[in-house]
Amino acid sequence: MPELPDVEYYRIYLTATALHKTIARVEVRAPRILEGVTERRLRSVLAGRAFQSARRHGKYVFAAIEGGEGGWLVMHFGMTGRLSYFKDIGDDPKHDRFLIGFENGYFLAFVNQRKFGHVALAMSPEAFAEAKGLGPDALSIGREEFAVRLGERRGGAKATLMNQKVLAGIGNIYADEILFRAGVHPKTPVNTLDEETLGTLHAVMGDVLHTAIAAKRRCEDFPGSYLLPHRHEGGVCPLDGTPLETITISGRRTYFCPTHQSDERE
DNA sequence: CTGTAGACTTGTGCTA
DNA sequence: AAACCACAAGTCTACA
């Protein structure tokens, strides 16, 4: 699940549940998810403190640590995962890899079935993004910068949208959705797209991400005109029923409509 | 720079 | 039925 809209939802969830509550205990149940930090260090940084705010950049959530040395807790979910706030330790969710217990008796769990996720510490979201080489967040990037950054690239449209160094937050599912709605073939070299198409791509990206976040918050399904519900074996284009085609790009399965996403390379 | 393939990890669903 | 293989919403490294 965890592409930008999902992670934005986790940020909202963390904000709604876990801010301004004193942390009493920290437990790491799968050490492999720790990145550049030890359980002992996490304990000393978090115990007795509280989170004061939460932010997101791309697919990362950051929680500001109030008091002490300050700093930020960083979380990335990999291909699976979510946050869960619960009261009874006996109700701890399956696959909880990292647990924060608050003085009020509640817990916040970093749930991560496949263990591709990571927990780290950073001085700031900006410093972390810089160190990782992440591009601007896909929800914040303006039309101009979007056009410039894509214009500098020679790769295919989908691979470029998913490249976290170009812009951060788009993954396999939403790359397909954005390209479908913009009518762009996933292999179109981005440097061949004209200004108008780049503008469309940028606008569609914003629409898709905002729509997805709103849908998550209300636990709604996606609009029927979206590709997402049809993105499976035997799926057809929601516009006219054309069977969707699949190809592999960057090792990820790619679904697209051969009639509405013309191949510009010919 | 680009694209591809393989690793990492765990669960699920298909095949037989 | 149990077991096996392919595959899944991510990212990193090695290599052509």
Nearest nt (C1') from A2 Cα? C9
Are A20 and A86 in the same domain? yes
d(CA A130, CA A152): 19
Which positions 218-247 on chain A have a beta carbon less than 7 angstroms from any atom of strand C? none
Nearest nt (C1') from A79 Cα? C10
Are A161 and A251 in the same domain? yes
Among residues A99, A132, A165, which one ends one of the domains? Answer: A132
CATH of the domain at A100: 3.20.190.10
pLDDT digits (tens, 9 = 90+) for A155-203: 999 999 999 999 999 999 999 999 999 999 999 999 999 999 999 999 9
Structure tokens at A216: 């998550």
Domain region containing A153: 143-256
pLDDT digits (tens, 9 = 90+) for A135-156: 999 999 999 999 999 999 999 9
Are A149 and A98 in the same domain? no
Strand C, nucleotides < 7 Å from a protein CB: these are 7-12
pLDDT digits (tens, 9 = 90+) for A40-88: 999 999 999 999 999 999 999 999 999 877 899 999 999 999 999 999 9
d(CA A188, CA A123): 39
CB A180 within 8 A of CB A256: yes
CATH of the domain at A159: 1.10.8.50
d(CA A100, CA A26): 5
d(CA A264, CA A160): 16
Structure tokens at A150: 């894509």
Helix orientation angle between A172-182 and A195-217, rounded to the nearest 10 degrees: 130
pLDDT digits (tens, 9 = 90+) for A200-247: 999 999 999 999 999 888 877 888 899 999 998 889 999 999 999 999
A101 beta carbon to strand C: under 7 Å:
no
Among residues A132, A164, A181, which one ends one of the domains? Answer: A132
